[in-house]
């Protein structure tokens, strides 16, 4: 694994580590999904909220199965990186199988007018609540993701950007900036 991918994985790990304890745990995934849904006004009975929580917990279960090598119900950064090195993301196509439903669930909540597009405000709210991203980082990423400069990003834009985060080694690609600069 090269340094660039290691930095990306460490950044992604920190985005998932909701409580900042240095481990990924079930509650990190559940609380992030609940918090995001609540930010957009989705209460406990909301079908969109239930779907996001279910998909988030499904991602946790998958990650736990492939990365929790010591079976302690938590994943360290080293375990996380080792799972990726062992082929957790084999191809962009297998990546899409996991992330398309996830991004669709995010859009069902964040895209409040259901036009298939997010504004910078929508992006700041969902990235802040689900991924612990500061506003300035999300705002800068939005500008790179919104390639046509129309003030919106689509489901497709998000999926391409997240896919590029893992599979594109170009430091200038929008995916590189998804969670902020990887270099201090």
CATH number, domain containing residue 120: 1.10.238.10
| 161 located within any domain | yes
| 180 located within any domain | no
Contact 30, 53 (CB under 8 A): yes
Provide the 8-state DSSP code for 172.
T
Strands 23-24 and 117-118: unpaired
| 179 located within any domain | no
Residues 129, 115: Cα–Cα separation, whole Å: 21
The per-residue pLDDT for range 144-160, each reduced to its tens digit, is 999 899 999 999 999 88
| 90 located within any domain | yes
The CB-side HSE value for 15 (13 A sphere, CA atoms) comes to 21
Query: Can you give the residue range of the structural domain that contains 167?
Result: 3-173
Backbone angles phi, psi at 13, to 5 degrees: -60, -50
| 69 located within any domain | yes
Residues 177, 164: Cα–Cα separation, whole Å: 10
The per-residue pLDDT for range 20-77, each reduced to its tens digit, is 999 999 999 999 999 999 999 999 999 999 999 999 999 899 889 989 999 999 999 9
pLDDT at 166: 80
| 134 located within any domain | yes
| 113 located within any domain | yes
The pTM assigned to this predicted structure is 0.89
| 183 located within any domain | no
How many distinct structural domains can be found in the chain?
A: 1
Phi-psi region of 12 (alpha: psi -120 to 50; beta: other; left: phi over 0): alpha
Mean pLDDT for the chain overall = 90
Residues 24, 28: Cα–Cα separation, whole Å: 6
């Amino acid at each position: 694994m090269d340094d660039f991918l290691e930095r990306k994985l460490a950044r992604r790990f920190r985005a998932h580590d909701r409580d900042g304890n240095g481990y990924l745990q079930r509650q990190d995934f559940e609380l992030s999904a609940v918090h995001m849904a609540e930010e957009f006004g989705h209460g406990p009975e909301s079908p969109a909220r239930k779907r996001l929580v279910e998909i988030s917990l499904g991602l946790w279960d998958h990650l736990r199965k492939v990365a929790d090598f010591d079976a302690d119900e938590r994943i360290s950064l080293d375990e996380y990186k080792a799972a990726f090195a062992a082929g957790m993301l084999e191809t962009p196509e297998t990546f899409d199988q996991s992330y398309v439903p996830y991004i669709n669930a995010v859009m069902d909540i964040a895209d409040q007018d259901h036009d298939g597009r997010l504004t910078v405000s929508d992006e700041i709210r969902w990235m802040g609540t689900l991924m612990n991203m500061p506003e300035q980082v999300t705002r800068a990423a939005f500008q790179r993701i919104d390639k046509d400069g129309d003030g919106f990003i689509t489901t497709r834009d998000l999926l391409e950007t997240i896919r590029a985060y893992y599979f594109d080694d170009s430091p200038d690609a929008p995916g590189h900036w998804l969670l902020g600069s990887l270099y201090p």
